[in-house]
A and B are shown apart, each in its own frame.
Chain A
Amino acid sequence: MRKRLPRQPLPYLMLAPSVIVLFSLIIYPMGFALVNSFYFWNLQTSPYPVQFIGLSNYQMVFQITPFMDSLRNTLILSIGGTFIEFWFGMGIALLLNSQLRGMTIARTILIMPTTVAPIVVGFLFRYMFYEGSGLFSWLLTGLGFAVPERGLLGSSHTALASIAVADIWEWTPFFAIVLYAGLLSVPEEIVDAARVDGASRVQMFWRIILPLIKPTAVIIIMIRFMQLFNMFDLVFVLTRGGPGTASRTLSYNLYYEGLVNYNIGLAAAMTWLIVVIVTIIINVYILIAFKDWEW
């Protein structure tokens, strides 16, 4: 027993930094939020938690905030956005991989939108969506589409889609670059063998290329879905969740309760509801996408 003692602390010491970081950055804030979600604590009325109120904050999330509208918008935005960005990104990645002329410069230019801060993208698109002289309004009118009288950001039919357009512009290149890297890892001999066997381009894509880059694709889809699920910057700059609740997302809802109304207890309850929802969605996704996965 005595002989063993000096050896025992070493693994713990080695693990300690990770545990400390994990605890201070993840577990403690989540635990803090969980505890306070059961307390009445509104900074507008008191600097400290006032009293234990059980599940009232969770009940209030549904009673006084447009939580369900925000959830619907968030799901539309994250599922639709991820889907479009993935397929646009895939198309661009295939083009980049086609060894056409000018692809080197295209790759360089392509990454630029991703490097722009979302808040800047928001302001940029705000001007492009402008009712009078905005680029998008002009383009849509030119193509024969009717632009809403209140502007693209002012109509409840187009506000959420307009936010999605800005996000797609910014993040499609990210998909393209990552998927392009995936395409580069596809062994040339397998593609050649398929070609010799008489596989068409479509067959090669669906039967060979897509399965081979699936590991990259499922991870990138999961990351982007989670990012889109937390969409805040573009909503804040472009519409502030309006008109009405037409473009309000869960993150904006959370921001509003936490940093505008300063209702800490309520915001904590909402945080946990969002955590639970994301966890369920991601686990279902993992179950489906990672089936037969060799870890």
Chain B
Amino acid sequence: MARTKGISRREFLRLTSMAGGALTFARFPQVSAPTAKRTLKKQAKTINVLVVGDPFQFALDKVLDQFTEKTGIGVNLENLSYDALQARLITSFVSQTPDADVVTVDQMWVSQYADNGWIIPLDDYAKADSDTQIDDFIPQVLHSLNTWRGHLWTLPIGAYGQGVIFRTDLLEAAGLPTPPKTPAEAGDWTWARYMEYINTLNGMTVGDKRMYGTVVCGAQPIPIVHMYTQLAASYGTRWFASFPEVNENGVWNFTPTINSEANKAALADYKKLYDASPPEAINYVWFDAGTRFSQADIGMFYWWTPYFYLVKNSGYMTGTPSEIIDKYDVGVLPTLEAGGQQVVSLGGWSLGIPRYSDNQDEAWQFVKWATGFEGQKAMALVPDYNYQFSDFGRLSLYQDPELQAIYPYLPAQLEIMRQGNGKIPRPPIPIYTSLEGVYGLQLNRVLSGEASPEEALATTEVLFNNILAGNQYVPNYLLESYDDTLENTIALMESLKA
């Protein structure tokens, strides 16, 4: 009786085979669809692109279809944070795995990747394709971001300089003339004058809001080094005895010169700038400083050129217009002395092709398009977040009337880029990151009051010596040197014209 009510073995087998069959058929369409997709992908190649989460990435993501439509090459774009990107790239390079076909490369990584053979030189590709239009690139940009030992390793997708951003309404209220937009107009636009502006603006009140004269980046190690080294370079600071140019013996000399009088003066002034900043700026990273300016209680500051457009938003990439959207303008950096030489810190992101990529030709097509006039203009025309991309490395884009209408500061930005040399304020040698780590820490100690500029720079020089000696850069640099001047980069560009 119980048996007839229960399930027999035969019945069990019948039911399970039916269920299994039903599951198989139910899954069948799901299985077959990706197979069809895979076949399509095989016909039209797809490349993997690793990018860092920076403003250019948001714009690039929106225009990828245009590239695919033009070339038939699909793109898998993966966005990573700065640390994660570097870790991922190093891991894939060391394990020699083709993790990505195109990678974004910080200018400070180019020498490491090039010397270790992790990315391929682009000289032959650039020379073979006339549509690379190599002579359209601003030489100072290619020199700062993309060349190493006389070869072209990457092309710039987001090129940054540093300039002054100021509140027009506050300067007017204080009776201060607006800072110049070109070096020719600079006159007595010196750092001493800049400090006078900051001191005048500091403590002003607008409504019931107290104004800070400026805002600095204080977080260690990278953000503070990015901002401080601009001031230091303007004051004439050099990190080493001979780099990027060679000495009279034709070699690089990495004896540290960081503990110089020029640097001590610059650091003392940076501390004064911090004293006129919100106190919490000691922990500010890049976008904290920019966002603070958007909050409408900062008079003037200098920072990377992407902040020329980022400050239009109330927060980093929020798309919500900031209070000061119609109350700011930009200008060139001051010099140490009236009419003196300027060295603008150029930086940014570039695209390179890993040695272990299986799709190097397709990767080159992408690099060429994304850094070319067409791709860059498409990115700049993306209206999201109130138009958030004008970090061009090409002259033609700065001169484009349509782009000038959206980004009215482009002529001033071009002047900034032309004053640049990214290899002087932050020398991009392979062990730069190690030096930056100890330098940033000591700079931060000055802001926190733990050390005086003299103490901090003396310590930095000792640490630099230890690191350089430990990595066999001093007393004698054992590898080949290269006279890494702007003139040699211009000669390289000439040789790469198709």
> Which of A256, A260, A266 has most B Cβ within 10 Å?
A260
Q: CA–CA, A241 to B431, complex, Å?
A: 21
- Given A42-B471, A149-B279, A66–B441 Cβ distance below 8 Å? yes
Interface residues of A in 253-270 (CB under 8 A from B): 256, 259-263, 266
Binary interface encoding of chain B residues 269-304 relative to chain A, with 1 for a CB under 8 A from any of its CBs, else 0: 000000000011011000000000000000000000
Asked if A245 and B279 sit within 8 Å, CB to CB, the answer is no
Asked if B280 and A150 sit within 8 Å, CB to CB, the answer is yes
Q: CA–CA, A263 to B466, complex, Å?
A: 14
Interface residues of A in 146-174 (CB under 8 A from B): 148-151, 153-156
- Given A56-B470, A63-B466, A64-B463, A261–B430 Cβ distance below 8 Å? no
Asked if A64 and B438 sit within 8 Å, CB to CB, the answer is yes
- B17 contacts partner chain A, Cβ-Cβ < 8 Å: no
Q: Return the chain B residue nearest A256 by Cβ.
A: B437
Binary interface encoding of chain A residues 213-257 relative to chain B, with 1 for a CB under 8 A from any of its CBs, else 0: 000000000000000000000000001111111100000000010
Q: CA–CA, A151 to B219, complex, Å?
A: 13
Asked if B93 and A47 sit within 8 Å, CB to CB, the answer is yes
- A43 contacts partner chain B, Cβ-Cβ < 8 Å: yes
- A44 contacts partner chain B, Cβ-Cβ < 8 Å: yes
Asked if A44 and B280 sit within 8 Å, CB to CB, the answer is no
Asked if A45 and B471 sit within 8 Å, CB to CB, the answer is yes
> Which of B115, B438, B448 has most A Cβ within 10 Å?
B448
- B83 contacts partner chain A, Cβ-Cβ < 8 Å: yes
Asked if A154 and B431 sit within 8 Å, CB to CB, the answer is no
Tell me the smallest distance from the CB of B95 to a CB of chain A, in Å. Answer: 10
Q: Which residues of A contact B437 (CB under 8 A)?
A: 256, 260-261
Asked if A259 and B83 sit within 8 Å, CB to CB, the answer is yes
Chain A interface, DSSP helix/strand/loop, else mixed: loop
- A85 contacts partner chain B, Cβ-Cβ < 8 Å: no
Asked if B470 and A151 sit within 8 Å, CB to CB, the answer is no
- B33 contacts partner chain A, Cβ-Cβ < 8 Å: no
- A273 contacts partner chain B, Cβ-Cβ < 8 Å: no
- A46 contacts partner chain B, Cβ-Cβ < 8 Å: yes
Q: Which residues of A contact B472 (CB under 8 A)?
A: 40
Q: Which residues of A contact B432 (CB under 8 A)?
A: 44
Q: CA–CA, A40 to B471, complex, Å?
A: 8
Tell me the smallest distance from the CB of B32 to a CB of chain A, in Å. Answer: 39
Tell me the smallest distance from the CB of A249 to a CB of chain B, in Å. Answer: 14
Q: Which residues of A contact B24 (CB under 8 A)?
A: none
Instruction: Name B466's contact: one of A43, A60, A239, A246 (CB within 8 Å).
Output: A60
Asked if B444 and A44 sit within 8 Å, CB to CB, the answer is no
Asked if B471 and A243 sit within 8 Å, CB to CB, the answer is no
- B450 contacts partner chain A, Cβ-Cβ < 8 Å: yes
Asked if B220 and A242 sit within 8 Å, CB to CB, the answer is yes
Q: CA–CA, A45 to B430, complex, Å?
A: 6
Q: CA–CA, A156 to B445, complex, Å?
A: 10
Q: Which residues of A contact B279 (CB under 8 A)?
A: 131, 148-151, 154
Q: Return the chain A residue nearest B285 by Cβ.
A: A240
Asked if B280 and A45 sit within 8 Å, CB to CB, the answer is no
Q: Return the chain B residue nearest A50 by Cβ.
A: B472
Q: Which residues of A contact B405 (CB under 8 A)?
A: none
Q: Return the chain B residue nearest A263 by Cβ.
A: B434
Asked if B466 and A64 sit within 8 Å, CB to CB, the answer is yes
Asked if A64 and B470 sit within 8 Å, CB to CB, the answer is yes
Binary interface encoding of chain A residues 30-64 relative to chain B, with 1 for a CB under 8 A from any of its CBs, else 0: 00000000001011111100000000100010011
Q: Which residues of A contact B448 (CB under 8 A)?
A: 150, 155-156, 242-244, 246
Asked if B283 and A243 sit within 8 Å, CB to CB, the answer is yes
Q: CA–CA, A14 to B314, complex, Å?
A: 64
Interface size on B, residues (CB 8 A): 38
Asked if B466 and A156 sit within 8 Å, CB to CB, the answer is no
Asked if B94 and A244 sit within 8 Å, CB to CB, the answer is no
- B447 contacts partner chain A, Cβ-Cβ < 8 Å: yes
Interface residues of B in 43-96 (CB under 8 A from A): 83, 86-87, 90, 93-94
Q: Which residues of A contact B444 (CB under 8 A)?
A: 242-244
Q: Which residues of A contact B282 (CB under 8 A)?
A: 150, 154, 242-243
Binary interface encoding of chain B residues 216-227 relative to chain A, with 1 for a CB under 8 A from any of its CBs, else 0: 001110000000
Binary interface encoding of chain A residues 112-133 relative to chain B, with 1 for a CB under 8 A from any of its CBs, else 0: 0000000000000000000100
Asked if B83 and A260 sit within 8 Å, CB to CB, the answer is yes
- Given A60-B470, A64-B467, A45–B441 Cβ distance below 8 Å? no
Instruction: Name B434's contact: one of A47, A245, A261 (CB within 8 Å).
Output: A261
Tell me the smallest distance from the CB of B111 to a CB of chain A, in Å. Answer: 9
Tell me the smallest distance from the CB of B456 to a CB of chain A, in Å. Answer: 10
- B97 contacts partner chain A, Cβ-Cβ < 8 Å: no
Q: Return the chain A residue nearest B283 by Cβ.
A: A154
Tell me the smallest distance from the CB of B252 to a CB of chain A, in Å. Answer: 14
Asked if B283 and A43 sit within 8 Å, CB to CB, the answer is no
Q: Which residues of B contact A47 (CB under 8 A)?
A: 93-94, 116-118
Tell me the smallest distance from the CB of A144 to a CB of chain B, in Å. Answer: 20
Q: Which residues of A contact B438 (CB under 8 A)?
A: 64
Q: Return the chain A residue nearest B449 by Cβ.
A: A156
Asked if A153 and B283 sit within 8 Å, CB to CB, the answer is yes
Interface residues of A in 193-220 (CB under 8 A from B): none
Q: CA–CA, A244 to B467, complex, Å?
A: 19
Asked if A44 and B93 sit within 8 Å, CB to CB, the answer is no
Q: Which residues of A contact B86 (CB under 8 A)?
A: 260
Tell me the smallest distance from the CB of A291 to a CB of chain B, in Å. Answer: 42
Instruction: Name A44's contact: one of B117, B219, B283, B430 (CB within 8 Å).
Output: B430
Asked if B112 and A151 sit within 8 Å, CB to CB, the answer is no
Q: Which residues of A contact B219 (CB under 8 A)?
A: 240, 242
Q: Which residues of A contact B431 (CB under 8 A)?
A: 42, 44-45, 261
Q: Return the chain B residue nearest A57 by Cβ.
A: B470
Q: Return the chain B residue nearest A245 by Cβ.
A: B441
- B433 contacts partner chain A, Cβ-Cβ < 8 Å: yes
Which 8 residue pairs spanning A and B have beta carbons closest together? A149-B279, A243-B448, A244-B445, A150-B279, A261-B434, A44-B430, A63-B466, A151-B280
27 contacts between A and B (CB under 8 A): A43-B94, A44-B430, A44-B471, A45-B112, A45-B115, A63-B463, A64-B470, A66-B441, A148-B279, A149-B279, A149-B280, A150-B279, A151-B283, A153-B283, A156-B448, A242-B283, A243-B220, A243-B445, A244-B450, A244-B451, A259-B87, A260-B86, A260-B433, A260-B437, A261-B434, A261-B437, A262-B90
| Known contacts A43-B112, A131-B280, A243-B447, then 20 further A-B pairs from the complex at CB < 8 Å, ordered by chain A residue | A40-B470, A40-B471, A40-B472, A42-B431, A43-B116, A44-B432, A47-B117, A56-B470, A63-B463, A64-B434, A64-B438, A150-B283, A150-B448, A240-B219, A243-B282, A244-B450, A259-B87, A261-B433, A261-B434, A263-B434
